[in-house]
Structure 1
Amino acid sequence: MNEILKQIKNRKSVRVFEDKEIPSEVKQEILNAAFEAPTAGCMMLYSIFDITDENQKKKLSVTCDNQPFIAKAPMVLVFLADYQRWYDSFCFEECDIRKPGQGDILLAYADAIIAAQNTVIAAESLGIGSCYIGDILENCEVVRELLELPDYVIPAAMVVYGYPTESQKKRKKPVRFEKEYIVFENKYHRLSKEENKKMHSKRNEKSGLADNNINEYIRKFCKRKYMSDFSLEMDRSAAEYLKKFK
């Protein structure tokens, strides 16, 4: 297995970092990796905020579901799906144009996430851990004001980076679902109830979960994640952001 595949395989979310700064040249290499990512029509439909202000980091740690480790991270980047830049370009040249739509922002969202993932793999190769913070999509009004976001920009992801502690290095990576439930040939296969339960059961067995009551596991997971307050808030905020994209 080559080094890149090894890094992809070994990479896991890190939420506890050493009290150690990331050197500026290393930070720049991580950022540079984003610019090499695939991008729709070479438009680079994303912007990146380098959050260096400590107060701003603290505020984001609160708006992002009260997660203190965000404020302690040595490096925090916010990846934005950004159609404002190109829309402004068209307006400046007085093109006969429409307002950005939902397809445009989905394309920009893909660009932003692909760029973010490039930085995550680059960081891993440099011995730096990372963690995606999907909660950046919550609290639309507060985040929009805090980051001074214009109409056609939506936060796609926040990623925190730092040197992992020894305990984080040793922590086992969560088990993924098996390939047969994820990869389909040519067309979608909707899992039956039995297949669905087997999918969860296999993963839970590999994860070493003592309680393999799949029915109860799914019910608890639904309550803890899908029906949680933060998930409902994220859904509300996403709808608010998308109002601009008709």
Structure 2
Amino acid sequence: MNKTIQQLYERKSTRAFLKEPIAQKEKEIIFEAAMQAPSAGNMSLYSIVEISDPVLKEKLAILCDDQPFIVQAPLVLVFLADYQKWHTLFASHDLPCAGFGEGDLFLAMADCLIAAQNTVVAAESLGIGSCYIGDIIEHYEEVKELLHLPKYALPAAMLVYGKPAPSALARSKPPRFSIQDMVFTNSYPERSDKQIEEMFMRRQDLAKGELDSYVKRIHSFKYDTDFRQEMNRSIQVMIDSWSRHDDV
């Protein structure tokens, strides 16, 4: 197995960091990895905001479900789905542009997340751990104000990076599904309740009597939550703002 594949297989989220800064040269390598990511039509429909202001970092940590390890991370990046630069360029060349739709937003989100993952892979190759912060898509109005975001630049991802502390290195990587459970040929298969249950039991190494408590725990932690309601509210505000053309 080559080193790249091994690092992809072994990579896990890092939430505890050494008090060691990331060198400027390492940052440049991480940023350049993002620039080299695949992009729809080579339009680079994303931008990256580095959060270096400790006060701003603290505010984002609170907005992102109050996670203190964000403040401790040596490098914090917010990835924006960004059509703003194209909107400005079209206008400066007197080209009609009445605004962008939901399809444009989805395309920009894809560009953004591909670039973000490139930074994860690059960082890992440098011995730098990372963790996605999904909560950045909550509280859109506050995030927009903090980062001075224009209409066509929306937060799609946030990542924190740093050299892993011993506790992070010692943490076991959570189990993944097998290929047979996740990769299909030509169409999405119809699967019975039993097949779905067996799929999760295999991944989590559960006995049948343990599955019910596992499912209830995930439902309570990930579905029946205030943060999920806020996430969906915030995303709807983003979509409405992006799609409204009366202010273009």
TM-score (norm 2): 0.95
Q: Name the SS for the 1:243 alignment partner.
A: helix
Structure 2 residue 78 is the aligned partner of structure 1 residue 47: no
Alignment of 1:32-111 (within 5 A): 32-111=32-111
Structure 2 residue 221 is the aligned partner of structure 1 residue 224: yes
Work out whether residues 78 and 157 of structure 2, in 8 Å CA contact, stay in contact via their aligned partners in 1. Answer: yes
AA matched with 2:222: K
String of CA shifts for 1:158-196, please: whole Å, max 9, x gaps. 000000011211211110112112100011124321111
CA distance in 2, matches of 1:148, 1:245: 15
Quote the sequence identity (%). 48
Structure 2 residue ranges without an equivalent (≥5)? 244-248
CA distance in 1, matches of 2:189, 2:145: 43
- Give the number of equivalent residue pairs: 243
* Shift in Å, 1:220: 2.1
Q: Name the SS for the 1:99 alignment partner.
A: coil
CA distance in 1, matches of 2:79, 2:196: 33
AA matched with 1:137: I
Equivalent in the alignment of 1:215: 212
CA distance in 2, matches of 1:117, 1:204: 25
Equivalent in the alignment of 1:165: 165
* Shift in Å, 1:68: 0.3
Alignment of 1:1-246 (within 5 A): 1-205=1-205, 213-246=210-243
* Shift in Å, 1:212: 5.3
Work out whether residues 22 and 75 of structure 2, in 8 Å CA contact, stay in contact via their aligned partners in 1. Answer: yes
AA matched with 1:231: R
AA matched with 2:41: G
String of CA shifts for 1:81-138, please: whole Å, max 9, x gaps. 0111111111121212331000001000000100000000000000000000010001
CA distance in 2, matches of 1:81, 1:212: 44
CA distance in 1, matches of 2:26, 2:209: 43
CA distance in 1, matches of 2:37, 2:234: 28
* Shift in Å, 1:198: 0.6
Q: Name the SS for the 2:241 alignment partner.
A: coil
AA matched with 1:25: K
Q: Name the SS for the 2:186 alignment partner.
A: coil
String of CA shifts for 1:128-149, please: whole Å, max 9, x gaps. 0000001000111111100111
String of CA shifts for 1:48-80, please: whole Å, max 9, x gaps. 001110001000000000000001100000000
AA matched with 1:132: Y
Work out whether residues 201 and 212 of structure 1, in 8 Å CA contact, stay in contact via their aligned partners in 2. Answer: no
AA matched with 1:87: H
TM-score (norm 1): 0.95
Structure 1 residue ranges without an equivalent (≥5)? none
RMSD: 1.3
Q: Name the SS for the 1:213 alignment partner.
A: helix
Work out whether residues 46 and 80 of structure 1, in 8 Å CA contact, stay in contact via their aligned partners in 2. Answer: yes
CA distance in 1, matches of 2:139, 2:209: 35
